[in-house]
């Protein structure tokens, strides 16, 4: 009996080590319970589509090679400082309507370490201010349908690549470098 248990353990370990991959060794995102669709167009683009999955938080199991993440149309109330900390390769992040047009609380440094992020969509999140410490790589920031009443020097500090910011009024667009938007 003991020998049989040890043999099974050894076989299991070998399967995982040599990537024979029985079901127990699969990454979380490959299991049927994972709430997102995963698409890999090529070796450099990996899209996690979690749109409209009734999620209440950013799901575990999104791999560090993810380049695009769509979390729109869910029930996510809070974005913590750790929500995206293991996703250094994200270039696009869609959080539009993340809490079905109710306020989303975004931690101060929630996006700070996303150094490759070029597009951040925060439409319809009931935001009262622009999140702080946005990545310097950001080129597109969408803030439509929020409750932002003012923009000060700290709101877009350090953003130099962005040439377009969208206002909270539908159809109204503010253009120019970030410094010129701070009127």
Per-residue confidence of the chain (183 residues) as pLDDT tens digits? 565 555 555 555 544 444 444 444 445 545 557 889 999 877 689 999 999 999 999 998 899 999 999 999 999 999 999 999 999 999 999 999 999 878 999 999 999 899 999 999 999 999 999 998 899 999 999 999 999 988 876 667 666 665 445 444 444 444 444 444 443
CA pair distance 145, 119, nearest whole angstrom: 17
Residues 61, 147 share a domain: yes
Query: Hunting for tokens 């923009």 — which residue is that?
Result: 151
Residues 97, 177 share a domain: yes
Q: How many domains does the chain have?
A: 2
Q: Which domain holds residue 113?
A: 34-183
Query: Hunting for tokens 């969408």 — which residue is that?
Result: 142
Residues 180, 110 share a domain: yes
Residues 57, 2 share a domain: no
CA pair distance 61, 153, nearest whole angstrom: 37
Answer for the pair 51, 70: CB distance below 8 angstroms, yes or no. yes
Token code pair at residue 96: 């539009």
CA pair distance 154, 91, nearest whole angstrom: 23
Residues 74, 157 share a domain: yes
What does DSSP assign to residue 131? P
Report yes or no on whether pTM surpasses 0.85: no
Q: How far is CA 55 from the centre of its chain?
A: 13
């Amino acid at each position: 009996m003991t020998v049989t248990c040890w043999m099974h353990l050894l076989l299991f370990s070998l399967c995982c080590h040599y990537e024979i991959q029985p079901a127990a060794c699969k990454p979380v995102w490959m299991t049927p319970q994972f709430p997102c669709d995963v698409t890999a167009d090529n070796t450099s683009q990996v899209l996690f589509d979690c749109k409209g999955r009734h999620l209440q938080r950013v799901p575990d199991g999104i791999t560090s090679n993810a380049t695009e993440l769509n979390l729109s149309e869910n029930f996510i109330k809070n974005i913590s400082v750790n929500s995206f900390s293991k996703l250094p390769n994200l270039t696009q992040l869609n959080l539009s309507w993340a809490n079905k047009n109710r306020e989303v609380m975004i931690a101060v440094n929630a996006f700070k370490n996303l150094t490759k992020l070029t597009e951040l969509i925060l439409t319809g999140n009931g935001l009262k201010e622009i999140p702080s410490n946005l990545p310097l790589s950001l080129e597109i920031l969408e803030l439509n349908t929020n409750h932002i009443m003012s923009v000060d020097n700290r709101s877009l500090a350090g953003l130099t690549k962005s040439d377009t910011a969208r206002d909270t009024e539908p159809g109204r667009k503010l253009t120019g470098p970030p410094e010129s938007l701070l009127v």
